[in-house]
């Protein structure tokens, strides 16, 4: 008897047969056809992007970031077709050390610009991705309000490859975003020089976020980065930090006077604000818009974009040549031998380099 309780000895008690429990795994899973994402053609991508389809835009960015040669070829085709529709945006680089308040500020700045209309894309160049293959920037969760806004597009830093490669992909992503109708582009970065240079080479305005410190904050910041800035903003000017922030601002203003006048003819401004409390945000936007109007009038806007286009042409050539060299089989075999010869004093660095280059060009014939 399945249930001993049903013995007649137990009067008035019956136990019903239980129901067989279904398996935890869906039994139909195997029979279901696997849904594969339809491969898109270059025209599908372009059509979707021009319509402002965010899913297609995301997939196109993934394509641009892909290292697979067939993806790269398709990505280049998509980019070429999008290029005529790009360029109509204000590109703003935003830099600051971790903790300076970039995410808090971008969240607030972003909402502020979106209130005025248009669409905003937030991209990132993360110098740490080169080493750790991780990302400390551009994470959606860092910009809570902006990430759920229907007119924003937030994309973390591409994670593979050299800083130059990551930066090139970000620049290409700008083209896709502009073709998709994003008329404001933020490119965020953190770093101590190189990544700022990369961002500077793709934006119209470079904003440096600083904090008020103990008065010696100018020592910690590289001169080159300050020289790149079109505007310096001191964050966390709130509570009992307001005076310190004002003091820091005047230090920065004085320091800027010591630099040669920028090529743009614009005098970089120094402002204080509070990202957290949303104070002074309008002034920052006004500064950026004033700058854009100023450089559009004196021709520097066009000039800088042309210079950047030239810069990226050469960067791309350099990157491809480097890749081609180091991925050449013969070179890959020879390099450890030549390196050893240099280390043991058998060859000078220059002779070793020359021999490797000769071997490469010989192989290319
Ligand atoms: P990020 O690393 O540059 O992105 O910096 P976060 O935006 O994550 O900010 C770092 C910390 O500073 C967080 O704890 C923020 O709450 C705080 N913070 C950011 N902006 C302000 C501000 O305007 N005032 C104050 N008091 N704190 C701020």
* Rounded (5°) CA angle 275-280-285: 95
180 pLDDT higher than 80:
yes
Residue 303 banded pLDDT, cuts 50, 70, 90: very high
Structural class in CATH, domain 38-83: mainly alpha
Question: From atom 9 of ligand 1, which residue's Cα is the shortest distance away?
Answer: 101
Q: Would the CA dihedral through 169, 172, 174, 180 be positive or negative? A: negative
Check if 174 has its Cβ closer than 6 Å to any atom of ligand 1: no
pLDDT digit string, tens, across residues 142-160: 788 998 999 999 998 877 6
- pLDDT tens digit sequence for 31-82: 666 666 778 999 999 999 999 999 999 999 999 998 888 898 999 999 999 9
Sheet with 90-95: list strands edge to edge: 152-154, 120-125, 184-189, 90-95, 205-211, 231-235, 269-272
Q: Residue 144: CB within 6 Å of ligand 1?
A: no
The yes-or-no answer to whether 38-83 and 86-298 have a common fold is no
**Residue ranges of the alpha helices (H) in 116-269?**
129-132, 144-147, 163-179, 194-200, 223-228, 242-257
DSSP structural state of residue 133: S
Mutational test site, ligand 1, from 99, 101, 141, 147, max ligand atoms within 8 Å of CB: 101
Burial zone of 17 (CB within 10 Å; 0-12 exposed, 13-18 middle, 19+ buried): exposed
- Per-residue pLDDT at 359 exceeds 80: yes
Residue 80 to residue 54: CA distance in whole angstroms? 19
Instruction: Name the token pair of 354.
Output: 């020359």
* DSSP line for 183-213: -EEEEEE--SSHHHHHHHTT-SEEEEEEE--
pLDDT band, very low/low/confident/very high, at 306 (cuts 50, 70, 90): very high
Angle between helix 281-298 and 102-115 (nearest 10): 70
Judge whether residue 110 has pLDDT over 80.
yes
Domain ranges of the chain: 38-83, 86-298, 313-364
Q: Which atom of ligand 1 is nearest to the CA of 277?
A: 23
Q: Candidates 97, 102, 104: which one to mutate for ligand 1, based on the most atoms within 8 Å of Cβ? A: 104
Architecture of domain 86-298: 3-Layer(aba) Sandwich (3.40)
């Amino acid at each position: 008897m399945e249930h001993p309780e049903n013995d007649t000895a137990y009067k008035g008690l019956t136990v019903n047969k239980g129901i067989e429990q279904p398996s935890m795994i869906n039994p139909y899973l195997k029979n279901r056809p696997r849904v594969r994402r339809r491969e898109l053609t270059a025209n599908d991508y372009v059509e979707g992007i021009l319509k402002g389809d965010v899913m297609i835009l995301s997939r196109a960015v993934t394509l641009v970031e892909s290292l697979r040669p067939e993806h790269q070829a398709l990505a280049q085709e998509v980019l070429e077709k999008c290029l005529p529709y790009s360029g109509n945006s204000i590109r703003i680089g935003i830099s600051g050390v971790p903790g300076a308040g970039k995410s808090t500020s971008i969240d607030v700045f972003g909402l502020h610009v979106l209130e005025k209309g248009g669409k905003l894309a937030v991209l990132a160049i993360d110098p740490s991705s080169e080493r750790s293959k991780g990302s400390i920037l551009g994470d959606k969760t860092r910009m809570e309000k902006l990430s759920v806004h229907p007119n924003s597009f937030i994309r973390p830093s591409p994670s593979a490859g050299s800083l130059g490669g990551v930066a090139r992909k970000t620049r290409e992503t700008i083209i896709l975003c502009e073709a998709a109708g994003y008329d404001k582009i933020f490119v965020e970065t953190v770093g101590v020089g190189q990544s700022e240079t990369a961002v500077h080479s793709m934006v119209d305005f470079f904003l440096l976020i600083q904090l008020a410190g103990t008065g010696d904050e100018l020592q910690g910041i590289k001169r080159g980065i300050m020289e790149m800035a079109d505007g310096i903003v001191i964050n966390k000017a709130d509570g009992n930090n307001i005076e310190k922030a004002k003091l820091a601002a005047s230090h920065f203003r004085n320091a800027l006077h010591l630099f040669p006048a920028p090529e743009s003819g614009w005098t970089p401004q120094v402002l204080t604000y509070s990202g957290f409390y949303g104070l002074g945000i309008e002034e920052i936007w006004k500064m950026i818009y004033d700058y854009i109007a100023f450089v559009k009038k004196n021709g520097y806007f066009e000039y800088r974009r042309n210079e950047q286009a030239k810069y990226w042409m050469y960067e791309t050539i350099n990157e491809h040549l480097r890749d081609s060299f180091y991925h050449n089989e013969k070179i890959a075999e020879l390099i450890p031998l030549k390196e050893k010869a240099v280390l043991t004093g058998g060859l000078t660095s220059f002779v070793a380099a020359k021999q490797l280059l000769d071997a490469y060009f010989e192989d290319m014939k």
